[in-house]
Amino acid sequence: MTEQKVAIVTGAAGGIGAAIVRALCADGVAVLGTGRSADKLAALAAALPQNAAFAFVAADIGDEDAPDRIVAEALARFGRVDHLVNNAGAGVWAPVHDTSDAMLDEVIGLSLRAPFRLCRAVLPHMGMGSAIVTIGSTFGIMGGMDGGIYCAVKAGLIGLTQTMAAQYGEQGIRSNIVAPTVVRTPMTDAAWDYPAFQRINQGLTPFYRDCAPEDVAHVVAFLCSDKGEYINGQVIAVDGGWSTTRMINSRFAG
């Protein structure tokens, strides 16, 4: 068994996930990363510093056996699990009247059911000093036009996190949500060309730049560290003030 703290990070090969892996490894945490693509996970592993303790398992978190398989792999590789970062999910965005049952099933399955089942699988192996951090969204704090099931599921993750904080806090297991604004990654890059996106997101954000994956990763690493050990049941928005100020950025005022 390693003496390092050990974290499971889902969606580890994506923009935010990879930044979380890098931040945790930099803090000396051993990481088991998961994702659908073994090739992308292998590329991430190759890009990490040589002293980083990183292993990976290719898995679709929506598969029935995925939670048990992921937790078993972490225990086999490192002998313990201290942190779980629920980062993977589905980003389907549509109004309620245009949301099919297939879209419902996809988003609920990947963004709510899968994190719930992974929490359930990992909790028996956690103890004092452990942390569960789920990546939510500012659109779980407040709904948005055309948000539909996406906003509903992100709000559901807040409920899950708060009930786990109440249930398992006495065991030293803390549970929190990191709720970023739209983060600029290859997956979302095209949105920056649309005037409506610029008005709603950049225009109402009282900050001088967009949110980067590292902004999210730094908060996750803090919550997993001893410095965040008294933070439990919280929703921490990483949005430059978007969800609280409703102020028109001078770059877009006219």
* 88-124: pLDDT as tens digits: 988 888 999 999 999 999 999 999 999 999 999 999 9
Q: Can you read off the two tokens belonging to residue 88?
A: 């993977």
> DSSP states of 134-172 as a string?
EE--HHHHS--TT-HHHHHHHHHHHHHHHHHHHHHGGGT
Distance CA 230, CA 67 (A): 27
Range 6-185+212-238 has CATH code 3.40.50.720? yes
pTM for this prediction:
0.94
| Cβ-Cβ contacts under 8 Å for 185 (sequence gap 6 or more) | 14, 15, 16, 213
Active site residues: 150
Chain segment 48-74, per-residue pLDDT in tens: 999 999 999 999 999 999 999 999 999
* Element of type H or E holding 9: strand 6-9
Residue 170 — φ and ψ, nearest 5°? -65, -20
